[in-house]
Structure 1
Amino acid sequence: MQTGLKTTAFAAALAATFGAAYGVGQGLDPVVKDSAPASAHDEQHAPASSAPHEQDGHSGHATTPAGGLQISENGYTLDLRTPRAEAGHRAGLRFTVRDDHGRAVTEYQREHDKELHLIVASRDLLTYRHLHPTRAADGTWSAPVDLLRAGGYRVFADFTPAKKGAENVTLGADLAASGPYRPQRLPEPRDTARVDGYEVRLDGTLRPGRRTELNLAVSRDGKPVTDLQPYLGAYGHLVALRSGDLAYLHVHPNGEPGDGRTEPGPAVSFTATAPSAGTYRLFLDFKHDGVVHTAAFTVRAGTQPGAEAGTDTETRTPAPGAPGAPDTGTSDHPDDGQGAGHGH
């Protein structure tokens, strides 16, 4: 075959190859960043992306960006030194927050009485720990944690650097607890939670892209609790996590002790915005008689009316750690050594 004919045949074959590849590429979805796999329950209420300015499919309002989905953000990185633990044994978590030059951050603004808030939650949102780590001079943070159940966990570091003009950042990293894994379903929504003899009632709903008020009323033995004690600068601390990817919502208390208008119970009020429709888990920490207790709720945002708020059942029967006892989402150990029972 002559040289010219060979060149022409090669060019035709090359064009056919690239044409086929282009056609395949056009038929495939674009590559996107993976999130944690959702359960069959979560797929029924699959949340939309938390990207800023994205339109929510239910309300048409712009969604609010959520935190904790990235290990690096705004020039800061969560360096988790202990990404593995053994279920049923106390582990020592160690981590460092680094700036965009790789240097350990050693100065923070105090928010809610702490320089940094550390949250550990299981991927199925049935285990929750609010820890108070200590920081060494070199910027290394450490805290003990008990994880009764094996499986995947997410570690959240919520902080604001002391740098002028710095904004609040919530970073997240994965933690694995080894051992036999038994997946469990998230409790169905209800508007009351019972923990350690207390009953907490939730009034209010999460709405995609809208600021809404959540009121939680604490009672014991059928009587309103009117002498709640300050905890982290308020009469309650609320954390909200989205099921499926564990997006972290920033929830703000309405009022604080000593402001002349906020009563020490029975009601504790917060303002929150859901970044999308979907299923969420709310964790309320409140302090009474010197002990911190945690009530957990399942909430659905952007669904049918009447099915948007709820909780699990009594979290103390059987006793935590007993054979066959589920971990129902409360902090059932004094992980930071500062309390007993559900103390933090």
Structure 2
Amino acid sequence: MTPAGHRLLQLCSLTLAAGAVALLALAACGSTPAPDHAAHAGMPGMDHTGTATPGAAPSGMPGMAGMAGMTTDEGLTAERDGYRLDSPATELPAGVPVSYPFTITGPDGRPVTDFAEVQTEKLHFYAIRTDLTGYQHLHPTMAADGTWTADPTALAPGDWRLYASFTPNTGPRQGKEFVLGRTVTVPGAAGAVPLTAAVPLPAVGDSATVDGWTATVQGELTAGKAGPLTVTISRDGRPVTDLQPYLASYAHLSAFHEGDQALAHLHPITPVAGDHGGPTLTFYALLGRPGNWRVFLQFRTAGQVHTAELTLHVA
């Protein structure tokens, strides 16, 4: 083959490969893939975590970490790409409402004050104990100097991991989503708040009931490989069709890995159409670690947010 013919063959191969990736994204998401993560931040069904955990890219799906609904596990470090979660608090009191001050510093060492809105909020804050109990999902406030204040409800004694999920709106990583985490200790006071023993992780199951609503999960997940996860909401055996939008979608799913507390969180790709969500919501999940994950599924009905809890296994 002549050199010109060889170059033409290479060009055709690259074009076909790019087309195959685009078609795969369309088939999985039902929409045209965004050109970059910043372009789709905050849209219904989009993931919060645009940075894949090293070595945990979806099998057979290169370059698609930003696909709708997918997420990787994060929050195991306080710093990434020059952005850092800082707080003067290393301990918090037990059994009483507390305030947790923190800042997000950028590569220049200064507090970041300009954040993009993702799923209706500029920062999502999570708290969970090392035994994966006490889950809290909060939306703190930020002062003009970049100091955030989260107000978790009373914490049981033990070690807790706190997470901040955010997207810088300016700077060298503009539009890139981060999940950073730090650990704090909540000491038990003798005679006041006793030490609380670790709670064993509940058995793996595919359904959970909260406040009379039942969430049933279907789907087999493999670590490092994106796969569909379907959630069906029912009440008294009847399908629920009046879910209301919560954080710009019909549900919010947080999952924490047993052992290291890696966090994954995602929203359904199901389109939002007023207060008429359900009964079935479809997610695309990408969990980078095998083992058991404690899942917290939040959804809204009649103005109230419900949190269903269950344990899923990832092969």
Q: TM-score, normalised by structure 1?
A: 0.67
Provide closer, same or farther for how the CA distance between residues 55 and 196 of structure 1 changes in structure 2, counting only shifts above 3 A: closer
For the Cα contact (< 8 Å) 2:57–2:225, is it kept in 1? no
User: 1:141 matched to which residue of 2?
Assistant: 148
Provide closer, same or farther for how the CA distance between residues 182 and 61 of structure 1 changes in structure 2, counting only shifts above 3 A: farther
- The Cα offsets for residues 172-213 of structure 1, whole Å up to 9 and x where unpaired, read as 001221211311100001111011122111111321111111
For the Cα contact (< 8 Å) 1:61–1:209, is it kept in 2? no
Are 2:175 and 1:160 equivalent residues in the alignment? no
d(CA) in 1 for partners of 2:267 and 2:81?
Answer: 21
User: 1:248 matched to which residue of 2?
Assistant: 263
Unpaired segments ≥5 residues, structure 1:
1-49, 303-344
For the Cα contact (< 8 Å) 2:75–2:179, is it kept in 1? yes
Q: Could you say what the CA RMSD is over the residues aligned between the two structures, in angstroms? A: 2.5
d(CA) in 1 for partners of 2:288 and 2:146?
Answer: 32
Are 2:237 and 1:222 equivalent residues in the alignment? yes
SS for the counterpart of 1:91 is: coil
d(CA) in 2 for partners of 1:220 and 1:112?
Answer: 27
For the Cα contact (< 8 Å) 1:217–1:267, is it kept in 2? yes
Query: Counterparts in 2 of 1:313-324, with a 5 A limit?
Result: none
d(CA) in 1 for partners of 2:282 and 2:202?
Answer: 23
- The Cα offsets for residues 60-103 of structure 1, whole Å up to 9 and x where unpaired, read as 99999631011000110001233322221111111111112221
d(CA) in 1 for partners of 2:285 and 2:276?
Answer: 20
Query: Counterparts in 2 of 1:271-286, with a 5 A limit?
Result: 271-286=284-299
Are 2:183 and 1:174 equivalent residues in the alignment? yes
Unpaired segments ≥5 residues, structure 2:
1-51, 66-70, 189-194
Seq. identity, %:
38
User: 2:210 matched to which residue of 1?
Assistant: 195
Task: State the 1:143 CA deviation.
Answer: 2.3
Larger Rg: 1
d(CA) in 1 for partners of 2:140 and 2:85?
Answer: 14
Q: TM-score, normalised by structure 2?
A: 0.73
Give the total of aligned pairs.
249
- The Cα offsets for residues 284-317 of structure 1, whole Å up to 9 and x where unpaired, read as 1101111111111111111xxxxxxxxxxxxxxx
d(CA) in 1 for partners of 2:281 and 2:291?
Answer: 24
Task: State the 1:132 CA deviation.
Answer: 1.1
d(CA) in 2 for partners of 1:54 and 1:148?
Answer: 32
For the Cα contact (< 8 Å) 2:207–2:217, is it kept in 1? yes
Runs of 4+ aligned residues of structure 1 deviating over 3 Å after TM superposition are 59-65
Paired AA for residue 54 in structure 2: P
d(CA) in 2 for partners of 1:107 and 1:55?
Answer: 29
d(CA) in 1 for partners of 2:168 and 2:60?
Answer: 34
